[in-house]
Structure formats: structure tokens, C-alpha cells
Structure 1
Amino acid sequence: MSTLQQGDDAAAAVAVAPRVTLASIEAKIAREEYAVFGDVLTVCVLHTVNGFTVTGESACASPKNFNAELGQKFARERAIAKLWGFEGYLLREQLYAAATV
């Protein structure tokens, strides 16, 4: 289980109001791309269904420690964390608009 999933599960256990979920974020991802630079840096680009993109990065200090699978996992988690922030802002805006009607 990923740390993102663990955090989402913990938040769900105590949530009493609308919230952004990992599932709602995953549903908005249309495709993802990965690139490796210099055998140490992995970049993940998430493209959302509405055309927005976010990036996440992962790097190791030594090329000897490079692991493509882990690089992609960590870079993707960081991209999702960025997207989570945007989705949180959007939800807060929606809640604010609903309260001021």
C-alpha cells in the first residue's frame, strides 16, 4: 500500500465533510509520461482529463542507486501530491460558493 493510500485511508476514517480522495484524483488522470535524465532524475508528467498537467520529480544521489521502478513511483507520488493541492483548492472554492448563495 502506498503512503498516499495510507494517508487517504486515515483521512477517510475521520472525515465528516466533503474531501478530495485519492480515487477522485486518479479518475482525473488521463495519461502519464516518464523521462529519465542523467541516470539520476526521473520526471513524471500527469495529464488530466481537462488538459492540465503537473509534474513530479525523484532523484537519487548516485547513479549506482538508480532504480527505474522506484524513480517512477516516487515521481508519480509527488505529482499526485501537487495535483491534490489543486483539487483541494477547487473543493474549497466550491464549498465557499455554495455557502454564499
Structure 2
Amino acid sequence: MSGERVTQDMIEAELDAASIQFHQFPNTTVTVAAVKLRNGFALVGHSACVSPDLFDAQVGKELALRNARDQLWSLLGFRLRDAL
């Protein structure tokens, strides 16, 4: 088995080249991150806060993007496995 792997740099390069839009649904604590990758493939990350009193829109964006980033790890892992 080779030493090839998906790296944080690979993930960040994909996200740097991506178009990212956020939406926070009014009167909710739900935030989504729509990530269009350079090849046109789309990921949708999401977050939600249990308590409206504790909701922070910036944290919601960060968590939604983290959720999309986690999906990207799987996709790049799949791509790498096909290439090996």
C-alpha cells in the first residue's frame, strides 16, 4: 500500500477554489453552507442550535462549513482510492 492520503492542504485547496454561500433560515437556528466545488459538484453542510437563546450566527456558519468540509474528506478519499 502506498503512503498516499488525503491531506488538510488538499481539503483547503478545494475549499479555496469553491464558491460558498450561507443561509440562516429566519426565526430558526438552522444554518446551511452551500459549497460549489470547482468541478461543479455541490455539497450542503448544515448546523442547528438547540436553544435560540444560545444561537450565534457566526458559529452556525462555522459549523455548517465544517459539516461540508467533513463530506469533502470522504469524497476526496473516494477519488484517491479510485486512483490507486
Q: TM tier, shorter chain?
A: 0.7 to 0.9
Q: Does 1:31 align with 2:24?
A: no
What TM-score results when the alignment is normalised by the length of structure 1? 0.73
Say which structure, 1 or 2, has more relative contact order (CA 8 Å, 6+ apart).
2
Cα separation, 1, equivalents of 2:6 and 2:70: 11
Q: Deviations over 1:38-78 (max 9, x none)?
A: 33001011111111110111100121111011101111011
Identify, as 1 or 2, the structure richer in helix: 1
Over aligned residues, Cα RMSD in angstroms? 1.3
How many residues matched? 80
What TM-score results when the alignment is normalised by the length of structure 2? 0.87
> SS at the partner of 1:27?
helix
Which aligned segments of 4 or more residues in structure 1 are displaced greater than 6 angstroms? none
- Which blocks of at least 5 consecutive residues in structure 1 are unaligned? 1-15, 96-101
- The correspondence for 2:34, drawn from 45, 49, 52, is 45
Q: Percent identity?
A: 38
Q: Does 1:90 align with 2:76?
A: no
